[in-house]
């Protein structure tokens, strides 16, 4: 019997356990409820659910499913069952466990659960980490709490500059500091406290600080955001788990590890970033806020430092700082740095991205589209079910001049949907309008917004006579400037109702309100993009309305423009080394380098870049 039991020992993962809303305590409860025990008992064919000990089960994922074809909306769980614990608390369960048959995607035996293990240990500086590479001296330092995990075997620690304190720069700094590098984190914007005041001045008094705004400053572009932590790079991979656990370590709620669609919201991101900063400083990282990297210092084909200027007093404060390597984590709004890279003959390759408009509905409309009868349960983020979101996508076709149709089919999809959020300005110059969405953790605002964007490629840039590595950047800028002109200046955004946009007309009737605080102006948004992009948007919106009847509504307002969905260029780098293929000592990372799209993927890229740089400087070995 012992042998047979051993075969079943360890963890079993039970997936797709659906609990109807009326039997679930609600979105904020992440434990094992009676309703969930009933579903577990069903899978185990265990006759009395209440006899199952809740301690033997751990919820590892909880999502809300309100798809229309379901009989009723439900919470869907993935649960891990610890067989040893279960049998020690309820030995009679053995008769049922021993009958359990694995079923792919539903019931799986996982003798070893997927854990972020070593990665999380390294980035937090915990013990039990690759002991083989830890020297006595570094262990001594670690005990003193004064240094990172490893000590460079040679006399001098490598001096590394990390440029940009977005997710990629923060995680690269964290890993490098833990490995004992001498890290300086250089950020053109301000720490979150001052950045908050600067954003306040923008929203209330229309004063844009060009170096401290929604894109630039501590935490990068994602700080004043919805803080969605969904990623397409594999939710359960060790690296994503390591990022999520690090966020929890710095103050994010543990629920993000379980929630099927985790998000933080700006109010949670700000204290989290303060803790992150404190931790880096404790590790010995020097942080320079308000300092912009204006140039790279290059000697003999190798980066040897950076030229920086003070964001406030640029004329009188320009300095040259020497480094052994530079991690470039500047995001994709730092267009000036792309010019700098070109001046050093560094390869930049244009890549496809997407442009479009941001649509905003009253949140109540989206709640009732998605939940019908359950909409009242939302209660502005305090109710049982999550504030409703949506995701729509269409492989649409539009006529591109005389080209055959199949050559011009494009994707149109919703992007960065912010339930209970607001539309914000993410341009960094008064002459350019570009928008995005943010929210607070409760997602309690009256509005729901999302970008609707259409893929664009070199062919589109060529059509506007834009060529060369920065053609995509010029393409973005063209529409941002058009939007600014149509708004009439002062950061006013041009808007059009969806119904008018579909009919290509501008009504004189009153506009629905907008969450955008700097003002909106009625305009015909057909005048912004080339006809094939506009037509693709029109066709797709009609298709989205078939999927979500009511999506086309008089209350829905389109805002122009959304252009910075992902980087318009990629900076080629070595697959394993992360080093630029055209300049030694330069490590391009994150979204601006074309290797990430979103908070989590940027953090993962920064983390791996940190490992790669550490390896290149002999701070760790191949085991990582
Ligand atoms: P960034 O976050 O852009 O960071 C780059 C940093 O480098 C900035 O702080 C900048 O000031 C600094 N910098 C630039 N140039 C220099 C220089 N020359 N010298 C010194 N410092 C410099 N993603 C999600 O996953 N979920 C969301 O909900 C979400 N919402 C968003 C909402 C908004 C309003 C915006 C703007 C973006 C949102 N994103 C979201 C996208 C996400 O923020 C980015 O994908 C992510 O921040 C990219 O990380 P990064 O580290 O590569 O670059």
Please provide the DSSP assignment of 245-299 as one string: HHHHHTT--GGGGTBSS-B--HHHHHHHHHHHHHHHHHTT-EEEETEEEEEEEEE
What distances in angstroms separate CA 218 from CA 188, 193, 208, 270, 330, one per listed residue? 9, 9, 17, 9, 12
Cα–Cα dist 563/184, whole Å = 32
Mutation test residue for ligand 1: of 308, 599, 604, the one with most atoms within 8 Å of CB: 599
Q: Is 289 in the pocket of ligand 1 (CB under 6 A)?
A: no
Residue 302 host element (H or E): strand 302-310
pLDDT above 70 covers what percent of the chain? Answer: 90
Residue 327 host element (H or E): strand 325-328
Nearest to 176 by CA among 152, 200, 196, 156: 152
Q: Is 163 in the pocket of ligand 1 (CB under 6 A)?
A: yes
User: What's the whole-number average pLDDT of the chain?
Assistant: 89
- How do residues 410-458 score in pLDDT, each as one tens digit? 899 999 999 999 999 999 999 999 999 999 999 999 999 999 999 999 9
pLDDT for the residue 100: 86
pLDDT-based confidence at 366, cuts 50/70/90?
very high
Q: Is 191 in the pocket of ligand 1 (CB under 6 A)?
A: no
- How do residues 520-553 score in pLDDT, each as one tens digit? 999 999 999 999 999 999 999 999 999 999 999 9
Q: Is the pLDDT assigned to residue 485 strictly greater than 50?
A: yes
**Domain annotation for the chain: domains and CATH numbers:** 2-110 (3.30.70.2700), 157-348+571-616 (3.50.50.60), 350-562 (no CATH)
**Closest residue to atom 16 of ligand 1, CA basis:** 330
Q: Is the pLDDT assigned to residue 594 strictly greater than 50?
A: yes
Average pLDDT over residues 39-67: 94
- How do residues 68-122 score in pLDDT, each as one tens digit? 777 788 999 999 999 989 999 999 988 888 888 888 889 998 866 556 667 777 7
Cα–Cα dist 611/617, whole Å = 10
Mutation test residue for ligand 1: of 211, 220, 267, the one with most atoms within 8 Å of CB: 220
Q: How many CB atoms lie within 10 A of CB 153?
A: 11
Average pLDDT over residues 326-344: 96
**Closest residue to atom 24 of ligand 1, CA basis:** 598
- Please report where in the chains the tokens 């490598």 appear, as a residue: 158
pLDDT for the residue 121: 79
Ligand 1 center from residue 222 Cα (angstroms): 5
Q: Which of 165-169, 231-235, 461-465 has the lowest mean pLDDT?
A: 231-235
pLDDT-based confidence at 515, cuts 50/70/90?
very high
What distances in angstroms separate CA 126 from CA 143, 178, 614, one per listed residue? 11, 10, 18
Helix, strand and coil percent figures for the chain, each rounded to 5:
35, 25, 40
Mutation test residue for ligand 1: of 187, 222, 476, the one with most atoms within 8 Å of CB: 222
pLDDT for the residue 462: 95
Q: Is 421 in the pocket of ligand 1 (CB under 6 A)?
A: no
More confident site: 508 or 184 = 184
Average pLDDT over residues 157-172: 98
Mutation test residue for ligand 1: of 221, 326, 570, the one with most atoms within 8 Å of CB: 221
Residue 381 in contact with residue 443, Cβ under 8 Å?
Answer: yes
Two structure tokens written together for 376: 């009242």
Per-position DSSP letters for 52-103, written without gaps between them:
S-GGGEEEEEEEEE--TTSSS-EEEEEEEEEHHHHHHH-GGGHHHHTT---B
Q: Is 419 in the pocket of ligand 1 (CB under 6 A)?
A: no
Q: Is 590 in the pocket of ligand 1 (CB under 6 A)?
A: yes
E-strand ranges in 144-281 read 159-163, 182-187
pLDDT for the residue 128: 40
Q: Is the pLDDT assigned to residue 294 strictly greater than 90?
A: yes
Query: Beta strands 325-328 and 586-588: pairing type?
Result: parallel
Average pLDDT over residues 155-183: 95
Q: How many CB atoms lie within 10 A of CB 116?
A: 20
Cα–Cα dist 572/579, whole Å = 8
Q: Is 433 in the pocket of ligand 1 (CB under 6 A)?
A: no
- Please report where in the chains the tokens 């012992």 appear, as a residue: 2
- How do residues 107-164 score in pLDDT, each as one tens digit? 998 866 556 667 777 777 754 433 333 333 343 343 344 444 554 555 589 999 999 9
pLDDT for the residue 114: 59
Cα–Cα dist 466/458, whole Å = 9
Q: How many CB atoms lie within 10 A of CB 560?
A: 28
Q: Is 593 in the pocket of ligand 1 (CB under 6 A)?
A: no
Q: Is 273 in the pocket of ligand 1 (CB under 6 A)?
A: no
The separation between CA 433 and the C-alpha centre of its own chain, rounded to angstroms, equals 22
Nearest to 599 by CA among 244, 145, 252: 244
Q: Is 222 in the pocket of ligand 1 (CB under 6 A)?
A: yes
Nearest to 487 by CA among 437, 525, 444, 526: 525
Q: Is the pLDDT assigned to residue 5 strictly greater than 60?
A: yes
Kindly tell me the number of DSSP H helices and DSSP E strands found in the chain. Answer: 17, 23
Peptide bond into 62 cis (omega under 30): no
Q: What is the CA radius of gyration of the chain?
A: 26
């Amino acid at each position: 019997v012992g042998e047979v039991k051993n075969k079943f020992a360890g963890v079993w993962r039970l997936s797709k356990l659906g609990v109807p809303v009326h039997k679930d305590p609600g979105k904020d409860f992440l434990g094992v409820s009676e309703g969930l025990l009933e579903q577990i008992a069903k899978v185990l064919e265990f006759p009395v659910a209440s006899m199952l000990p809740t301690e033997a089960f751990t919820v590892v994922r909880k999502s809300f499913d309100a798809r229309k074809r379901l009989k009723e909306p439900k919470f869907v769980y993935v649960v891990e069952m610890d067989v040893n614990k279960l049998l020690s608390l309820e030995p009679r369960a053995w008769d049922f466990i021993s009958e359990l048959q694995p079923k792919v995607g539903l019931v799986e035996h996982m003798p070893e659960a997927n854990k972020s293990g070593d990665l999380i240990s390294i980035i937090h500086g915990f013990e039990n980490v690759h002991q083989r590479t830890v020297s006595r001296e570094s262990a001594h330092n670690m005990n003193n709490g004064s240094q990172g995990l490893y000590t460079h075997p040679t006399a001098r620690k490598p001096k590394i500059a990390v440029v940009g304190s977005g997710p990629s720069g923060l995680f690269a700094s964290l890993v490098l500091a833990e490995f004992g590098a001498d890290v300086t984190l250089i950020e053109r914007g301000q720490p979150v406290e001052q950045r908050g005041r600067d954003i306040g001045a923008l929203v209330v008094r229309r004063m844009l600080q060009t170096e401290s705004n929604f894109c630039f400053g501590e935490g990068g572009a994602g700080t004043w955001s919805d803080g969605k932590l969904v990623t397409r790079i594999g939710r359960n991979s060790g690296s994503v788990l390591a990022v999520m656990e690090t966020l929890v370590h710095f103050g994010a709620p543990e629920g993000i590890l379980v929630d099927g669609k985790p998000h933080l919201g700006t109010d949670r991101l700000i204290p989290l970033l303060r803790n992150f900063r404190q931790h880096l400083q404790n590790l010995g990282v020097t942080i320079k806020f308000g300092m912009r990297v204006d140039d790279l210092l290059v000697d003999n084909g190798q980066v040897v430092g950076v030229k920086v200027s003070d964001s406030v007093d640029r004329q009188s404060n320009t300095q040259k700082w020497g480094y052994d390597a530079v991690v470039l984590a500047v995001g994709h709004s730092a267009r000036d740095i792309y010019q700098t890279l070109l001046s050093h003959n560094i390869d930049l390759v244009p890549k496809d991205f997407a442009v479009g408009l941001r649509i905003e509905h009253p949140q109540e409309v989206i709640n009732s589209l998605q939940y019908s009868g359950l909409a009242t349960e939302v209660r502005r983020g305090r109710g049982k079910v999550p504030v409703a979101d949506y995701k729509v996508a269409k492989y649409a076709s539009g006529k591109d001049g005389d080209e055959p149709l199949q050559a011009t089919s494009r994707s149109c999809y919703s992007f960065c949907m912010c339930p209970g959020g607001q539309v914000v300005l993410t341009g960094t110059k008064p002459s350019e309008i570009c928008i995005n969405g943010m929210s607070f953790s409760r997602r309690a605002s009256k509005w729901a917004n999302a970008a609707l964007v259409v893929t664009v490629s070199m062919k589109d840039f060529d059509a506007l006579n834009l060529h060369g590595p920065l053609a995509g950047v010029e393409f973005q800028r063209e529409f941002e400037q058009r939007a600014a002109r149509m708004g009439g200046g002062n950061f006013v955004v041009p808007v059009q109702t969806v119904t008018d946009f579909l009919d290509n007309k501008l009504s004189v009737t009153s506009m629905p309100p907008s969450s955008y605080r700097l003002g909106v102006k009625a305009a015909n948004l057909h005048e912004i993009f080339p006809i094939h992009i506009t037509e693709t948007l029109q066709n797709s919106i009609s298709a989205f309305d078939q999927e979500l009847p009511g999506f086309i509504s008089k209350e829905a307002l389109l805002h122009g423009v959304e252009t910075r969905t992902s980087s318009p260029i990629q900076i080629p780098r070595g697959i394993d080394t992360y080093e630029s293929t055209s300049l030694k000592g330069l490590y391009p990372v994150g979204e601006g380098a074309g290797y990430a799209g979103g908070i989590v993927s940027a953090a993962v890229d920064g983390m791996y870049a940190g490992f790669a740089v550490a390896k290149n400087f002999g701070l760790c070995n191949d085991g990582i």
